[in-house]
Structure 1
């Protein structure tokens, strides 16, 4: 049976991440407070931001920007969006 976590984005018990998604304390913090569903959604959002804004993951400023956007995403605050992105119809 999968473990669950109280997800800070969705404010409910959801499936937990099987391992920390980032190294160190930040990864453990995310694993303890973010669901697999929220993490998967963030990964899609992050990919769109990297591609649209031509972010360089070797650049510390770009990495800091993504970390800020990630925190805002998980806290249900407004985040930057990829310009021109239209989500698929469900």
Structure 2
């Protein structure tokens, strides 16, 4: 049986990640408070941002920018959208 977390983004109890996505406090916070569903959604959105803005993940400035956008995303704040992106209607 998979572990569940009270997802900060979706505000409901959902299956959690199998392990922290990266080391440190930020990774542990995501592991404890973000569902697998929300993480998968972020991964998809992150790819759109990287492609749209031509980010170089070897560049510390670009990685820092992306981490900031991830924090905004999971906090439910305004975050970077790919130009012309329209979220799917539910």
TM (normalized to structure 2)?
Answer: 0.91
Q: Which position in structure 1 is the counterpart of 2:30?
A: 30
Q: Which position in structure 2 is the counterpart of 1:65?
A: 65
Q: Which position in structure 2 is the counterpart of 1:15?
A: 15
Q: Which position in structure 2 is the counterpart of 1:82?
A: 82
Q: How many residues end up aligned between the 2 structures?
A: 90
TM (normalized to structure 1)?
Answer: 0.91
Unaligned regions of 5+ residues in structure 2, if any?
none
Q: Is the aligned partner of 1:2 residue 2:18?
A: no
Cα RMSD, aligned residues only: 1.5
Gap change, CA 1:88 and 1:76, over 3 Å in 2: closer
Task: Tell me which stretches of 4 or more aligned residues in structure 1 moved more than 3 Å.
Answer: 86-90
Unaligned regions of 5+ residues in structure 1, if any?
none
Between the aligned partners of 2:88 and 2:41, the Cα distance in structure 1 is 14
Shift of residue 26, structure 1, vs aligned partner: 1.6
Q: Which position in structure 1 is the counterpart of 2:54?
A: 54
Shift of residue 11, structure 1, vs aligned partner: 1.2
